[in-house]
Structure 1
Amino acid sequence: MSEIAIKTVDDLKNLDRFYRANFINSMVGSKQASLIGTVGKNSCTNLSLFSSTTHLGSNPPLIALFSRPATKEPKQTLNNIISTGFFTINHVNEGILVRSHSCSFKFLDHESEFDSCALTEEYHDGITAPFVKESFVSMGLEYRRHFPIEENGVIMIIGEVKLVRYNKQYIQSNGELNFERSKSIAVAGNNTYYGLNKIKTLDYIDRSQKKILTKSVQDESNKTSKEISKEV
């Protein structure tokens, strides 16, 4: 039988800071790994690996991403987004995993991650930021605003989706992206990556179908209880 552990806030404070970062980050769950494409005032393109993109709404289509607090080293991604007004979000897939992870290296301002990590720039009308050609799912966004999170200094950046680039075969009949087909990669902690396999698509249950909901919940509960009993 699995052993349940408990850590209090005091326990967390006493952990090694790298272990603590991985521990808390991964407890939130796996997140889509994405390359954020920008270009600087010096015309040098930039790619940064992010796992903190969040959907804020679909009308208008708004996406947020979170940048770590400012340090002695300038945040190229944040500065580029503010100065040019555009950025792209490109899904990492199995075929570019190592190259995407390599974009985390601290390259100099005049060094492009596209060149250094063997990835290809691609451009589309109306978006000045570069897309990653090898990515199967990408979005071009226009910068709207940013602000610091008071509690820890993390910067929240909000962009509006202006263009979506994708393979038609990856979209399900209900409009959702099939991550298994697109071979999109999720990340937990700072550097552990996972594949995404589709389990099933469940129907939306409205108020008139409460009996269906009750039966579905009970069936799964009974099945899980039997599986737990076998483990004991």
Structure 2
Amino acid sequence: MHFASKDIPAASAYKLLTSTVVPRPIAFVTTISADGIVNAAPFSFFNAMGSEPPVVALGFEPKADGSDKDTPNNIFDTGEFVVNIVDENLASQMNICAGPYPASESEIEAAELATVQSLEVAPPRISLSPVSFECKLFQNVPLGGGGHIVIGEILHFHVRDDIIESLDPLRINVRKLDAIARLTGADYARTTDTFQIKRPT
């Protein structure tokens, strides 16, 4: 079976993407609104896209009414955000923050999340997150259907000490990181079930 993008509704394209591009890493994004409200929301249209400069990309779908969600609005207003990586310990609080909160209400408070002041940007990072990236807006790519691809330049990396195996060379223990990933619907995946394939030399 095959599907021409021009012949299917956006909802079907979304379902095809979220059901087949799996597992997807989760960006638990913290921002601050122009009114000073701290927002936290998870997004799984997310990945690293380059290292010089280090950049990440976030895909934002519009709301049902076609308007932008609070997170991209805050990024466009302030030019700053923090990407917090989600481990299994953080999963339930992350899920609380995925709810439909009004812009005037902080998901941080609703999920009872502790935060830590960032070093180079105003939005705080989530203290339970094993890794956080302080980012500034690098580029916004508007999409025809009302969404956005936001590219953020990482200004500062925060990595919990116990997941760093060595500094020279720098190595991260991905099992201790214990990141979770998005599948589809209510399904998530763990990153602890792994296997190795050596690259050809």
Q: Same fold (TM over 0.5)?
A: yes
* 133-142 or 189-198, which deviates more: 189-198
Cα distance change, pair 72–156 in 1 and its aligned pair in 2 (3 A) = closer
Unmatched runs of 5 consecutive residues or more in structure 2: none
Cα distance change, pair 204–169 in 1 and its aligned pair in 2 (3 A) = farther
SS of 1:129 mapped into structure 2: coil
- Cα distance, 1:176 vs structure 2: 4.9
**1:117 counterpart = 2:111:** yes
- Cα distance, 1:160 vs structure 2: 0.5
2:68 and 2:200 map into 1 onto residues whose CA distance is 49
Question: Is the helix fraction higher in 1 or 2?
Answer: 1
Asked if the contact 1:67–1:156 (Cα under 8 Å) also holds between the matched residues in 2, the reply is yes
Unmatched runs of 5 consecutive residues or more in structure 1: 1-6, 207-232
Cα distance change, pair 107–69 in 1 and its aligned pair in 2 (3 A) = closer
Asked if the contact 1:55–1:62 (Cα under 8 Å) also holds between the matched residues in 2, the reply is yes
2:36 and 2:140 map into 1 onto residues whose CA distance is 22
Deviation string for 1:187-221 (max 9, x for gaps)?
Answer: 11243111112535555544xxxxxxxxxxxxxxx
SS of 2:192 mapped into structure 1: coil
Asked if the contact 1:146–1:157 (Cα under 8 Å) also holds between the matched residues in 2, the reply is yes
**1:165 counterpart = 2:153:** no
**1:195 counterpart = 2:187:** no
Deviation string for 1:102-123 (max 9, x for gaps)?
Answer: 1111111111000001111211
- Cα distance, 1:175 vs structure 2: 3.7
**1:69 counterpart = 2:62:** yes
* 162-171 or 35-44, which deviates more: 162-171
1:158 and 1:176 map into 2 onto residues whose CA distance is 25
Question: Is the strand fraction higher in 1 or 2?
Answer: 2
Percent of aligned positions with the same letter in both sequences?
23
Highest CA radius of gyration, 1 or 2? 1
Q: Which residue does the alignment assign to 1:27?
A: 20
- Cα distance, 1:53 vs structure 2: 1.5
Q: What is the TM-score with the length of structure 2 in the denominator?
A: 0.85
- Cα distance, 1:61 vs structure 2: 0.7
Q: Which residue does the alignment assign to 2:125?
A: 131
Count of residue pairs brought into register by the alignment: 195
2:155 and 2:125 map into 1 onto residues whose CA distance is 13
In the TM superposition, structure 1's runs of 4+ consecutive aligned residues that sit over 6 Å from their partners are none
Asked if the contact 1:21–1:189 (Cα under 8 Å) also holds between the matched residues in 2, the reply is no
- Cα distance, 1:167 vs structure 2: 1.7
Asked if the contact 1:64–1:156 (Cα under 8 Å) also holds between the matched residues in 2, the reply is yes
Cα distance change, pair 26–84 in 1 and its aligned pair in 2 (3 A) = same
Q: Which residue does the alignment assign to 2:78?
A: 84
1:74 and 1:112 map into 2 onto residues whose CA distance is 17
Give the AA of the match of 2:154: V
Asked if the contact 1:61–1:161 (Cα under 8 Å) also holds between the matched residues in 2, the reply is yes
